[in-house]
Structures are given as structure tokens and as C-alpha cells.
Amino acid sequence: MKNIQVIDGAVNSVYDIFAATNEEFSLIFPEGQDVAFIDEVYGRGDPKALDAAFKAIWLRRIPKSEANGIHGLLFYELEEKKVYYPTRKDEEAVNPNGSRLR
């Protein structure tokens, strides 16, 4: 199982963490990536398979105090964040001018 933190643009978002099987994780995150945006996920994947995967994932919320790592970030409604993750890898996050964030 791999943990996914959901970063939602809603004002009342709580950034929950959910467990995904390796198969579910690979539907959301292409090989080598750990950052995804929901519109891109559905743009490249089979909607029925993704709906089924998310239905299962949403049943596996993990309290943050019990999470053993975060393996992926999934953004909802935050298009403006895409510029910071051009490679869709968290460790390679950059500012819009290309300078590293870390």
C-alpha cells in the first residue's frame, strides 16, 4: 500500500491521507512521478477504472498520526500549482522562474 495526500482547493479542506494499492497508485501516478493533478489523471486514464479505484481509496483514510510516509500528492482545483511541479516530482519542485524551491 502507498499513501496519497489529497491537497484540495476547498477552503475547508483538511488534506487527508488515503491508502492505495500499488495498482491504484499506478493509475494515478505515472512511473517515477509522485505529484498528480486530478484533471490530468482523468485525461490520461480510463474514467471507469479511475472511478472504481477512487471509490476504494476513499474508504481507506489514514489518520495523519498513523501514516507511515506519504508516497504521492494529489491536487484538486489547484491549477496554479502546476507551474511549481513541471516534472510532477515533489523533490524537483521549482519556482516559476525555474529556481529550486528547496
Q: Rounded to a whole number, what is the largest CA-CA distance in the chain?
A: 39
Using alpha carbons only, how large is the chain's radius of gyration in Å?
A: 13
Average pLDDT, the chain: 97
In the chain, which stretches have pLDDT less than 50?
none
Distance between CA atoms of residues 99 and 93, nearest Å: 9
Taking the CB of residue 62, how many other CB atoms lie within 10 A of it? 17
The neighbour count for residue 28, using CB atoms within 10 Å, is 23
Structure confidence by residue, pLDDT tens digits, 14-43: 999 999 999 999 999 999 999 999 999 999
pTM of this prediction? 0.94
